[in-house]
Amino acid sequence: MKGHYILDATVVHNRHVPINYPLRHRIAYFLIDMDDLSALDNFGMVGLNSPNFLSFYESDYGVDRERSWRDQLYSLLQEHHQPQPAHIMLLTLPRLLGYVFNPVSFWLCFDDQSNLYTVLAEVNNTFGERHGYLCYHHPSKNLSVFHTGDVRYQEPVTHLKTFHVSPFCDVQGYYDFRFNICSNRLAINIDYYVDKQKTISTALYGTTVPMSNLELRRQFLCKPWQTMKVIFFIHYHALRLWIKGMRYRKKPTKPKHHFN
């Protein structure tokens, strides 16, 4: 998959315990070809590191403002003994009139056979903190090599939860990440478990279409302010959960390590 795309996405979030609370929203994501950023200049509504109706700033990602996103990603992959990618795509929300809150962005790393072998899930919370979960299969998975399509939808990648996100969940348990990235469809599932019980199910899925000025107008002018609605609905649903009796947890200290 190369080029820039728009994902006409559905986000599903189901809390299973201690109460059942499902929610579903439609939203448009960017799927950015990080090896062809200059092509974003072809779209009149989109700015690259510059103000526009929609804009993409490289400084919105990573944890070290003194280093480029590429240097940070390559260093992280090297630390985990992962090869450098032949191609990188970024699934994210754009700034809208200068504002954005990305609950999670996904750096998709492909090998030279266009196989997805590693994904960095970069998570933000509403306290301005950021943390990354690097998703790949370890040798214990009995796979012959790391970089020939290891990240399979049927084989979840498990990570211990180390970063505070929801005020109604303690920092405990673990996540199962699953990725299905195709040429015209995309599905990402994140299931959260506590004491081996599924507590929250989250899914992001939809159809990808090549980015064009016509598609940008259709997605963002027909659904204005969608990026700004993200932070509104986070607080709206939090208020409803609190009214329903969910216990509020204070934010713990951020982990020392930015990635795991």
What residue ranges do the domains of the chain occupy?
A: 5-243
Write out the two tokens for 232. 């509104």
* 146 and 136 Cβ atoms separated by less than 8 Å: yes
Q: Which pLDDT value is given to residue 142? A: 42
**In whole angstroms, how far apart are CA 218 and each of 99, 115, 205?**
20, 31, 19
pLDDT of residue 139: 60
Q: Which two tokens stand for residue 50?
A: 């510059």
Question: What local confidence, expressed as pLDDT, does residue 170 receive?
Answer: 93
Tell me, what's the pLDDT at 180?
93
pLDDT value at residue 17: 92
Q: What is the pLDDT of residue 147?
A: 37
pLDDT at 140: 52
For residue 2, the model assigns a pLDDT of 87
Spell out, as residue ranges, where the chain has pLDDT lower than 50: 141-149
